Amino acid sequence: MTIEDRNEASELRLSKHAQRLRTWEFICVTCGGHFHPAALEYSHIAPRKFHDDGGPQCRNCHAAFSDEERDLPYGPQSQNPQIESIGRYLLALSAWFSRIAETIAEFGRWLMQLADALPENAEGAVQ
Q: Which residues bind Zn ion (CB under 5 A)?
A: 28, 30-31, 58, 61
Q: How far apart are CA 6 and CA 49, in angstroms?
A: 38
| Smallest distance from Zn ion to CB 33, Å | 5
CB of 9 to Zn ion, least distance (A): 27
In the bound state with Zn ion, the residue whose beta carbon lies nearer, of 12 and 107, is: 107
Residue 67 CA to residue 64 CA, distance in Å, equals: 5
Task: Count CB neighbours of 91 within 10 A.
Answer: 13
Shortest spacing between CB 40 and Zn ion, in angstroms:
8
Q: Which residues pair with 58 in a beta bridge?
A: 40
Which residue, 11 or 102, is less far from Zn ion as judged by CB?
Answer: 102
Helices (H), 22-58: none
Taking the complex as a whole, the smallest distance from the CB of residue 122 to Zn ion amounts, in Å, to 28
Q: Which of 120, 41, 54 is nearest to 93 (CA)?
A: 54
Nearer to Zn ion, 21 or 58 (CB): 58
Q: Which residue lies nearer to Zn ion by CB, 29 or 46? A: 29
